[in-house]
Structure 1
Amino acid sequence: MTRTQDGRRVRLATVAAEVATKAVVTTAVAATLVAVLLTAAVLTAGPAAAQDININLGGQGGGLTERVIQLIALLTVLSLAPSILVMVTSFTRIVVVLSLLRTALGTATAPPNTVIISLALFLTAFVMGPAFERAWDVGVRPLVNNEITPEQAFERSSEPFRAFMLKNVREKDLKLFVDMARQQAPATPEELSLRILVPAFMISELKRAFEIGFLLFLPFLIIDLVVASVLMSMGMMMLPPAVISLPFKLIFFVLVDGWNLVAGSLVQSYGPI
């Protein structure tokens, strides 16, 4: 009798689980259909609905498929905006140098990542200020005023960043990607495509960031060696040298006004602003 009741309970539990699963799947499908229908309704809205919601991603008379593709492209660009900031600006060099500086100091979490990234962003904004202003004046503002097409706006807005990258990229890195792309070298560097220029610029920035990081490591490495030698001579081999050298490295960095030197050197490494 007990086994029969247990079997019934197991079957009831199984049936209940199946019903719950089907209900969840049905709800998810229904929600997806509702979202698709709402999107289609917004994109195909007539003049009456346009008074409340106005989504215009292209020219007059564009079809539903064209508008959906344009919407997807817009969302893709917005999602890649942080990566674009890293790729075509001075952010890569600055944030790598600041991270290496923290490692050289031996402070695992001071300054924290939020502070490092924030400082790198503001230094990037300072270095790239002229490029941002130029891109706004020649590309974004005319597009907002409906004076040029989006394609023309992209070409004009990318020119200041292209000039910045060409100014700071190494010729060796450019040649590497031109050879790998199996393309004939253009007559002038300005004719290089962004597909070649951007990765060449990024590895150039990484190389220079590591060079600056090496120079930053040297004085702190000397402090570590001196502290380790003193501890060894005193027979205090069980005491970690990093614990003793940390305050000396901090006071050394403060006395030489390290943040001023590092920030100034990073900005000046790009030449006159």
Structure 2
Amino acid sequence: MKRIVSLIAALPALLLPAVAFAQVQAQSLPAAAPASDSAIPGALDRAFGAMGGTEGPGMSLSLQLLLIMGLLTILPSLILMMTSFTRILVVLAILRQALGLQQSPPNQVLIGLSLFLSLFVMAPTLERVNANAIAPYSAGTINAEQAIANGGKEFHAFMIRQTRERDLTMFAEMANAPRFAKPADVPFSILLPAFVTSELKTAFQIGFMLFLPFLVIDLVVSSVLMSLGMMMMSPMVVSLPFKLLLFVMVDGWALLMGSLASSFG
């Protein structure tokens, strides 16, 4: 539990390397500007030199606060786009729709479940980022540029495993990028949209499978009501208890959480 709390506290620092690593890998794109490769690491060395033990005069306190606040504004987007959060949240929302429930569980519960299940799925990646980037940088054994590269590689490896080759090829062709020799050469500018596209496709595939058994119940209930001449009664009202009963009998929440976690293997 202490490890999870520490990972939550270090989440902004854990996601920051993945953003700046896109600049370090920019030479993989045809139109990349070499001068920008060291811009962000150099700024980070100056901004966090006092905390990381690196050399340099460091930036003023007001500029450091401005940089941190700017990073916090994009933190929700990073959580959505670079982790397992999107797939899990979409599947849970589709499940609620399939059950015929309007606001139960409420959105806050679904977001909380998605967040903590995402932390469970991302725990190995976050631990490797902490071991290879955050801890050495805090100890002063590596500089900010090396920490960015090490942390970015871990997020890159997770995202590339979940991305379909077809989606990567599509965005690479749209960017007129050369053919990549290995997956590690794919820049974040191509990997990010391909990863999100793959996650949405996978989420909708899982949602389709979830809808089927509940759709059968709706069809059966509707046919029975029509055969009895009960045209005025809504089939949704009658089928909802049977859907809930089926979901509880098969231990649906445990099956769904386990299946979602295992889908990122």
| 2:227 matched residue in structure 1 | 233
Structure 1: how far apart are the matches of 2:164 and 2:76?
24
- Give the CA deviation at 1:126: 1.0
| 1:42 matched residue in structure 2 | none
Gaps of 5+ in 1: 1-54
- Give the CA deviation at 1:142: 1.4
8 A Cα contact 1:99 1:116, kept in partner:
yes
| 2:102 matched residue in structure 1 | 108
Structure 1: how far apart are the matches of 2:154 and 2:127?
9
Structure 1: how far apart are the matches of 2:201 and 2:48?
41
| 1:20 matched residue in structure 2 | none
In the alignment, structure 1 residue 206 sits paired with structure 2 residue 187: no
In the alignment, structure 1 residue 195 sits paired with structure 2 residue 207: no
- Give the CA deviation at 1:61: 3.2
Structure 1: how far apart are the matches of 2:180 and 2:64?
32
8 A Cα contact 2:86 2:200, kept in partner:
yes
Structure 2: how far apart are the matches of 1:147 and 1:123?
33
In the alignment, structure 1 residue 215 sits paired with structure 2 residue 209: yes
Structure 2: how far apart are the matches of 1:223 and 1:243?
12
Structure 1: how far apart are the matches of 2:114 and 2:212?
22
- Give the CA deviation at 1:57: 4.0
Q: TM-score, normalised by structure 1?
A: 0.74
2:243 aligned to which of 237, 249, 266: 249
**3-state SS of the aligned residue for 1:128?**
helix
Gaps of 5+ in 2: 1-45, 50-54
- Give the CA deviation at 1:70: 5.4
Deviates more, 1:162-171 or 1:141-150: 141-150
| 2:256 matched residue in structure 1 | 262
In the alignment, structure 1 residue 148 sits paired with structure 2 residue 128: no
8 A Cα contact 2:85 2:114, kept in partner:
yes
Query: Match of 2:233, as an amino acid?
Result: L
In the alignment, structure 1 residue 160 sits paired with structure 2 residue 154: yes
1:132 aligned to which of 116, 126, 135: 126
Structure 1: how far apart are the matches of 2:249 and 2:193?
39
Query: Match of 1:61, as an amino acid?
Result: P
Structure 2: how far apart are the matches of 1:126 and 1:189?
25
| 1:28 matched residue in structure 2 | none
The sequence identity of aligned pairs, in percent, is: 51
| 1:10 matched residue in structure 2 | none
Alignment RMSD (CA, Å): 1.8
In the alignment, structure 1 residue 169 sits paired with structure 2 residue 163: yes
| 1:97 matched residue in structure 2 | 91
Structure 2: how far apart are the matches of 1:246 and 1:204?
32
Structure with the bigger RCO (C-alpha within 8 Å, sep 6+) is: 2
- Give the CA deviation at 1:62: 5.0
8 A Cα contact 2:87 2:200, kept in partner:
yes
Q: Please identify the structure whose Cα radius of gyration is greater.
A: 1
Name the CA shift for 1:175/1:218 in 2 (closer, same or farther; >3 Å).
Answer: same
| 1:61 matched residue in structure 2 | 57
Name the CA shift for 1:62/1:136 in 2 (closer, same or farther; >3 Å).
Answer: closer
2:80 aligned to which of 68, 71, 86: 86
